[in-house]
Structure formats: structure tokens, C-alpha cells
Chain A
């Protein structure tokens, strides 16, 4: 039902109308209506005293309760019209409501109740009088009216979570239904880490009998029946650990955390111990990665010439191989030593040492080496030892294994030995060096501003003291969030190393002793995110609710995320960065984005697949073919005929199947999707994190050509991408200028918030759309998507006729800044006999971009 209502709202352009406005937040009519629907639905679950028919009436009433605001398109209009209601429902409006509810399956009695409960406005014309008369034959439902208007709508109209500290009249309405309200709030929004904190609190409150009914980026509102238990915060830290660990384990399915934690053997062999010991599988991955290190599998033996010349073998090749074997063994055991040091806390943990000795006694049982001697040898390993010593120790270590093994088999067995010994010991390492050893959880809990769990005064004093001590080395406080700075930011994470930055005293270059410092939390957030995207330089968008979000509305969000992830993981399509494909589709549909509505994403996928097919992209076709063959191999013992028969699609051959699949046939895709992901890898890895419905985070690395482009041109790209996301989610999108910087301005005052500069402003103004304090207004989203689509298409045409042109850098800005005639003339000048420009197309695109004048 909610989806049908959502489509109805979209078809009437509710996403472009304003329902709530003000300095503290703006919400579209669609978003507000869906939020009230979700709250009502949840309240009915909690109260458990309404019939199913009442539920239907309540949901429909919630959705249509503000329909009178439909003819408001902007704040200005609202301010001009002093009346609360701009119009009254017309007979036509009522008919539309009746039609949609009839389609959903409402009974006549239910429809009468919905119409009866909707508020009246002032009569302004004959059509309103007709509307009022058509209301005659309706029914009231006071309980539903009270629930929707006095509770759900009032809750959804609170623009910030702080407003819940004083409930006012809401308290009386809640008491009527024997309901109790509480909330949690955080002070800083950091991305993944804060999402996990929200998740922790959701579970704690749910266990106490409360239900989350309203999500804000900074917290959640819960409602439970009066007399519910007090939430138990005793284990909040342990819970947080569990969720952080679960999250990392999820990531480890995509990225090998063991591999990520490995360092260089001659520097820090285990760079990120917090991830290496997460579980057995990460440690196994660590050893596999160690085995494959060049230093071990194919050691560099430059400088070993003297030893080779003195060698006992005549053949140089044999001698080299012999040395590589010993050096490889030596370096492998340096990793082993590092792991043992972590497990035994630098040989100080007696329990761990005892356990290690027991394991070694079993493992070395058959060997001629005894445990004590072995441990002494291991402790003495160092990459700075002389070459001869390395070979001697390598020889000694080799004696633990059978003589007849080749180099690779020996190293394999040695790595298996290391795995076996350390796997049982990893809980000790986790205790001393793992995630649990850091105080991330405690520090995260300090960021809870309600309920009061942390010693706020202590934190303030600590920051004040640190600031007073001053800049002994780099910045005293974290440059990102202002907490106590604990470590130097890794080069590359906050810009290039040795770069100039305004964060340092008076503005200076990062240098030895003059570093940007960050706190533990910011550092952890950086690590957690780069684990997924792998690259440190990425762009990030926060998708935040338009003021607030209800659980049912959150399900629509989850669906969109699911679709984006499906395209990303299964088809290798990074939907976010494919501006040109989106632009083509939008221009082909003449910019009528609203018509596509919720099917925007489906339309896009179909369009993309058609495009791939049309352009005969061999790679994609081959991937589909391979995926089909792989499924046939594993599930049908290689019998392709059987697979074709089972599908019942009337195909005769594999080629026909491939053609159908590439065209997006869901029946085939359903069978091969899981394999398709193995062949289609996205070129850039995008992180879509929506752990709780409070907000979603999108991080993706910029493409190479975008990185080299002007900042202002990239702002245009971000504006387009974030407008599309705002449209897909019916949410507000905040584009961050400084990556990793926690989100502090969380008041959604439009559809998209974009950082700007003078160059961008000058170019953007030519399209005759205004940004208010950097916010793109809801009513302008469709317009800007259409105009930017035309810009991208025109830019594409320019690139087509002159791919090697030097003017590609900043070309988006150039097109906007120069006279349209100049662009056309440039196209003529750049064209050649075999690449003639499509001038009609270019003219059309320019007319879309500058259709409403505004050009200079």
C-alpha cells in the first residue's frame, strides 16, 4: 500500500512541494507524508488496539493529511499567502483519492472515513464548494483522527530531536494511548562508527520494550507502552564492540582484512594488528598474504653475489634458488616472530607463553629441534642481520621440515606451520593488540549526549588542558572533530604529504614535527572506510532524511540501496558515477523524471543494459556468457541443453540466452546473478553504508579524469549525482568538502547541499537556478537534473568529435560560461571529415541548458 501511495505522491509532484520549512529544516510534502504514514503504522502496532480496517484508514489519512499544501511550491509562495491553507480540496481531488484507495483495495466505508477525517480549508471558488458538497456523505473516525493529527503528525513535525526534551501538548496525547516516549542523541556524526552506535542503542531500547519510530541523523525517537523497563546500558560497550566486529567481518567477505593488515618485512611486519586478529579467517588470510609476499616467495638476492660465488653448487641458478629458499624462510619467520610478540604481549603474558610452548611441543614432536632452542632462534630474528646469518638461520629452520621438499613446497609447509601455531593463540593477540585493546567504544559512548552516560565535564577538561599545553608537535586537537589529537594523520588521508594546509598554525606545510593530528575515533573511521574503498582519496555524500524518517519510509530507502548494490556487485555497474548514461536516459525521456518516478532506477538499469547491448560491448557479453557456463558447470554438470530447457524461455542456443540476458531478462539474470559478480568487477568500489535508517553514507573514489579536472567542474558532477540520489531516496543529500570530517551541519534546508567556489557560482548562475546558502531547493531538482544532463551530453559530443582536444579539462565550466554560439562554433572548428558534429543535437542541448534565459 505504501508503495502505491508513494507513486501517487510522485505523480502529483509532491516531491517538489514543501510541507515543512524554516531555518531548522525543510521537508517535501512527499517525505513528510511518508514519515507520518510510517509513524502511524508503528503506533498502531504498539498500541495494538486498532482493527485492520482502522489501520488502513489511519495510513491513508496520514498520507493525505497535508494534501492541501499541494499547490505550494516554494517558501516565498507560502510567505506571501498568509493563510494556513491555500486551497480546499476540490471534487476532483476527492475523486483522485477515492480512485487510488479503490485501486489499493479499500472498502467504500473505509474511503468514506478517510475523506471524512481530512481537514477542510477555506472556500475560494466554485470548485471548492463542489468539493465540500461531495464530503457530505462521509464518516468520521475520532480515534484515528486523534492518532494521526494529534500524535503522528505532531511527532513528524518536530524539526530536531532536541524538541523532544519538552513534549508539551504531545504528552497528553501520548497518555491517552498509554504511551511513553524517549530518545537517544549523539553529538557528532562520523559515518560508519556513529551508525554502529545508533544500532547499539536501537537494540538496547528494543530489548526494554521500546520501538524506534522516528529517525534523525543525530538520534532516534522511541515509543513504548507506559511501564516499560528502564533500558539497561550496562553492556553498551560490549554491544558496540560486537557490532563493530560484525561490520568488519562483513567487510572481510569482500576485502581480505588479513591481507590489508600486512606490512613490509623490513619495516612494520604487521601494520594493522587490530584487523589481523579479528578471527581465524583473517589470520589465515594474513598468512596466505605473507606467503605471497615477494620477500618470501621470490626474495631479492641482490648483494648475495659473494655467497653465490663461494657456493657449494656449480650451477649459479641452483645456488640462487638455494639462497632464495633460506632467505624466504628467514623472512617468513620474521612475520611469525611479530605475531608471537603480539600474542605474548612482547613475551610478557605468561599464560600465552605457556600455551605457545604446549602447541610447539606437539608441533615439533617429530622434529629434531627442541622448543626452547626454537624460541631462542625466533627471538633473535631481525631483518638487519648479516646475510650469512640469515642463511644459517634459514638452514636451521629448514630442518623442521622433510628434506625432500622443493622451495615452494617448503615455504607452503612452513606457512602452514605458522598458521597452525598461531591460530589457537589469536585470542591473546586480540586481547593485547586487537580492536578490543583500543578504547574506541568508550570514546564513542562519550559522544552520546542523551541519555547522559558520559562524563562530559571530563571530556571538556581534557580538551581544554590539551589546548593549553599547545602545539608541541603538530596540532594539539584533532583537525577534524576537535577532540584530543592522539596520532599523526597518515600521509595521503588528509591530502598529500608535505602539502600546505590551513589546519596548521598560521597555515604551513606538513613536515617532520609539524603534522596534522587526529583523534582515535577519526583515525578509526578513516581506516574502516579505506578498508572498503581501498583508496584514501574519495568523495563522500551523506543521505539524510528530510528532517526525519519513519521505519516504513526507511524500507523504501533500503530497497534503493539494495538495487544500487545489486547493480554494483552483480553487474559491475557503478551507477553513481555513470553520469553520461543517466544523462542520455533523461534527455531521451525529455527530462520528465517525475514520470519515471520510483522506476527511475529500473529504467536506468534497462537503459544501461540496452546501451551496452547496442554498443556491442564484448567484455560485458563475454562476462554474461562465462557466468551462464559457470552456472551450467556447477548446477547442471555442464549440460547446457538441460539448463535451456529448465528456463522455458523458448531459446535454442547459448548465444540466444546471452542476448536475452544482456537485454536484462530477469529470468536468466535470476539464475546467473550470483556468478556474474565474479566476472563483472566495478571499476571503482563504492561504499553504500546504511547500517541504521538515521542516514546513509556513500563513498567512492573519483575517476582518474575527474581527479585531474577543475574543482568547479567536479562540483557540477557532484551536484548531478547528489540530485539523482536525492530523487531516488526522496531525501536530502549533503556533499562533503573535507572527506572524513564529521557531519556537523545536519539541518536539511533543501534537497542537496553542495560546496561551491566563485568559478562554480559564475558558471552555475548562467543556468538561472539559485542555490540558497549552498542548498538546492526541492522544486529545482528536476530542472537541474535535466539541465546538467544536457550539459553532460553536449560535453560528450564535444569529446566524441575531438577526443584528443586539450580543452577537455574544465570543459563543463567552459560550456556554461561561453556564449552558446561560441560553443557551436567551437564544435565546427574541432570537427573533421570523419567526425562531423551533430549540430542539431548540440542546439537542442544548449536550448535545454539555457531555456529560461538567464544567460549573461
Chain B
């Protein structure tokens, strides 16, 4: 008779742990969204493609998911380099700090979460950052329009 195969999660995921992961995801999104306030793609045509909106963060997320880079400094350096080559705005100290904090959160998330959950979290961060940046752009536009009207 064929032996019975058992599939077992290596790490148990409790509801409290899930809440913790959710909090980490939120914090990471906050940091990256804050960092992206400094990112304005060069020669932006006005069309909001996802790549142009999340810019270096998208690269960072694929970098970390493929384990291309695994340390904080390497990841921050990777993003800063992309930023300098593709953004028309310089990276401010505040922006750099947010980026570093975001990377730290992301690395701790990778440490904590099982692989399957981490992949899901990356996807959520990706779209979360995209939404937040869009919101930022439209709020800015709204404010500009209001000033113009005045």
C-alpha cells in the first residue's frame, strides 16, 4: 500500500502571530510610502504605470523575494543606486531614514514569517505601497488645484 503522505506547516501560525504580521506589513508600507514621497520618475509621461509609481521599491521587493540580496546595507544601497539613476528628485535624509526603517521591517518579517506567508506579505506590501503613493499623488494634485482656484 502506498504510504500516507502528511503535509505539515513547519511553524504554527496563531491568530496573535497573524495580527503581529499584519502590523509589520502596515509599518513596512508606511515606511516605504514615506520614502516614495522623494521619488519622482524621470520623464514621467503622466501615465501611472505601476513600475513608475512604486519605482525602486518594486525592485527591492523582487530582490528580497529572490534572495538576491540579504543584508540591510546591500538592500539600501541597491535602492539608493536605482533611485539616483531613475528619479528626478534627490533622496532626502528623511527619505533615506524611512527607506532604512522599511528595509529593517521587511528583513524582520522575512525572519519571522513562514515562506508561504512571506510571499503573500510581499504581494500585499507591493500593492499597499502602490495605493499609498497614488493617494499621495492625488492629494498633492488636489491641493495644487485648490491653490490655483484661490
The reply to whether A824 and B138 contact each other, CB–CB distance below 8 Å, is no
Are A843 and B134 neighbours in the complex by a CB distance under 8 Å? yes
Which residue of chain B has the shortest Cβ distance to A827 in the bound complex? B48
Which residue of the partner chain, among A819, A828, A839, A843, contacts B128 with CB atoms under 8 Å? Answer: A819
Contact status A828-B50, CB under 8 Å? yes
A821 to B124, CA, bound (A): 9
B49 within 8 A of A: yes
- The answer to whether A828 and B49 have CB atoms under 8 Å apart is yes
Q: Judging by beta carbons under 8 Å apart, are A821 and B129 in contact?
A: yes
* Contact between B48 and A839, CB atoms less than 8 A apart: yes
Is the beta-carbon distance between B127 and A839 smaller than 8 angstroms?
Answer: no
Residue in contact with A846 in the complex, picked from B49, B50, B131, B142, CB distance below 8 Å: B131
Interface residues of B (CB under 8 A from A): 22, 47-50, 123-124, 126-131, 134-135, 138, 141-142
Chain A residues within 8 Å of B50, by CB = 825, 828
Q: Are A821 and B48 in contact (CB under 8 A)?
A: no
- Say yes or no: A839-B138 contact (C-beta < 8 A), given A825-B50, A856-B124: yes
A window 838-856: CB within 8 A of B: 839-840, 843, 846, 856
Residues of B within 8 A of A839 (CB): 48, 134, 138
Q: Is the CB–CB distance between A821 and B138 below 8 Å? A: no
Give A840 to B138 CA distance when docked, in angstroms.
Answer: 6
A-B contact pairs, 18 of them (CB 8 A): A819-B123, A819-B127, A819-B131, A820-B131, A821-B127, A821-B131, A821-B134, A822-B127, A824-B130, A824-B134, A825-B50, A825-B127, A839-B138, A840-B142, A843-B134, A843-B138, A846-B131, A856-B124
Given A828-B48, A828-B49, A828-B50: A821 and B135 within 8 A (CB)?
A: no
Residue of A nearest to B130 (CB): A821
In the complex, chain B residues whose CB is within 8 Å of the CB of A824: 130-131, 134
Residues of A within 8 A of B127 (CB): 819-822, 825
B132 — nearest CB in chain A belongs to which residue? A821
Q: What residues of chain A lie closer than 8 Å to B49, measured between beta carbons?
A: 828
A interface residue numbers (CB < 8 A to B): 819-822, 824-825, 828, 839-840, 843, 846, 856
Q: Is the CB of A843 within 8 A of B135?
A: yes
Contacts of B47 in A (CB 8 A): 828
A825 to B124, CA, bound (A): 13
Most buried by B among A820, A825, A856: A825
- What residue of chain B has the Cβ atom nearest to residue A825's Cβ? B50
Q: Which 7 A-B pairs have the closest CB atoms?
A: A821-B127, A821-B131, A819-B127, A821-B130, A840-B138, A822-B127, A825-B50
A821 and B128 CA atoms in complex are apart in Å by: 6
How many Å from the CB of B14 to the closest CB on chain A?
Answer: 17
Give the docked Cα–Cα distance between A728 and B134 (Å): 38
User: How many inter-chain contacts with C-beta < 8 Å in the A-B complex?
Assistant: 38
Selected from B22, B126, B141, B142, the residue in CB contact (under 8 A) with A821 is: B126
Chain A nearest CB, measured from B24 CB (Å): 14
Give complex CA distance A839, B128 in Å.
15
A820, B141: Cα distance in complex, Å: 21
For B126, the chain A residues whose CB sits under 8 A away are 821
Instruction: Give 11 A-B pairs besides A819-B131, A825-B127 with Cβ atoms closer than 8 angstroms.
Output: A819-B127, A821-B127, A821-B129, A821-B130, A822-B127, A824-B130, A824-B131, A828-B48, A828-B49, A843-B134, A846-B131
Closest to B26 in A: A853
When chains A and B are docked, how far (Å) is the Cα of A266 from the Cα of B138? 69
Residues in B whose Cβ lies below 8 Å from that of A843: 131, 134-135, 138
By a CB distance below 8 angstroms, the chain A residues around B128 are: 819, 821
Contacts of A856 in B (CB 8 A): 22, 124
Of A820, A821, A824, A843, the most chain B CB neighbours within 10 A belong to: A821
With a cutoff of 8 Å between Cβ atoms, the chain A residues found around residue B124 in the complex are 819, 856
Q: How far is the CB of B57 from chain A (nearest CB, A)?
A: 12
- The listed residue with most A CB atoms (<10 A of its CB), out of B124, B128, B134, is B134
CA distance A821 to B131 in the complex (A): 5
Q: A819–B124 Cα gap in the complex (Å)? A: 7
Q: Which residue of A lies closest to B137 (CB)?
A: A839
A840 to B134 CA separation, bound complex (whole angstroms): 9
Distance between B21 CB and nearest chain A CB, rounded to angstroms: 11
Determine how close the nearest CB of chain A comes to the CB of B114; give it in whole angstroms: 16
Give bound CA distance, A819 to B126, whole Å: 10
Separation of A820 and B126 alpha carbons in the complex (Å): 11
With CB as the reference atom, state the residue of chain B lying closest to A840.
Answer: B138
CB distance from A816 to the nearest CB of B (A): 14
Q: Which residues of B contact A820 (CB under 8 A)?
A: 127, 131
Q: Which residues of A contact B22 (CB under 8 A)?
A: 856
CA–CA, A846 and B126, complex, Å:
17
**Interfacial chain B residues near A822, Cβ < 8 Å:** 127
How far apart are A718's CB and chain B's nearest CB, in angstroms?
Answer: 29
Interfacial chain A residues near B142, Cβ < 8 Å = 840
Bound-complex Cα distance A822 to B130 (A): 8
Residues of the B chain whose Cβ atoms lie less than 8 Å from the Cβ of A828: 47-50
Name the residue of chain B whose CB is nearest to the CB of A828: B48
Chain A residues with CB under 8 A of B131: 819-821, 824, 843, 846
Residue of A nearest to B129 (CB): A821
Q: Looking at the assembled complex, report how far the CB atom of B66 sits from the nearest CB atom of chain A, in whole angstroms.
A: 21
**Measured CA separation A825–B127 after assembly (Å):** 8
Q: Bound state CA distance, A846 and B131, in angstroms? A: 10
Least Cβ–Cβ distance between A844 and chain B, in angstroms: 9
Residues in chain B near residue A825, CB distance under 8 A = 50, 127, 130
A128 CB to nearest B CB, Å:
39
Most buried by A among B124, B126, B131: B131
B46 closest partner in A (C-beta): A836
Q: How far is the CA of A843 from the CA of B49 in the complex (A)?
A: 16
Of chain B, the residue at the smallest CB distance from A820 is B131
Complex CA gap A839/B22 in Å reads 26
A822 to B126, CA, bound (A): 9
List of A residues within 8 angstroms of B123 by Cβ = 819
A820 and B123 CA atoms in complex are apart in Å by 12
In the complex, chain A residues whose CB is within 8 Å of the CB of B129: 821
**C-alpha spacing A822/B50, complex, angstroms:** 10
CB distance from A838 to the nearest CB of B (A): 10
Could you say which residues of chain A place their CB within 8 Å of the CB of B48?
A: 828, 839
The answer for the CA separation of A856 and B128 in the assembled complex, in Å, is 12
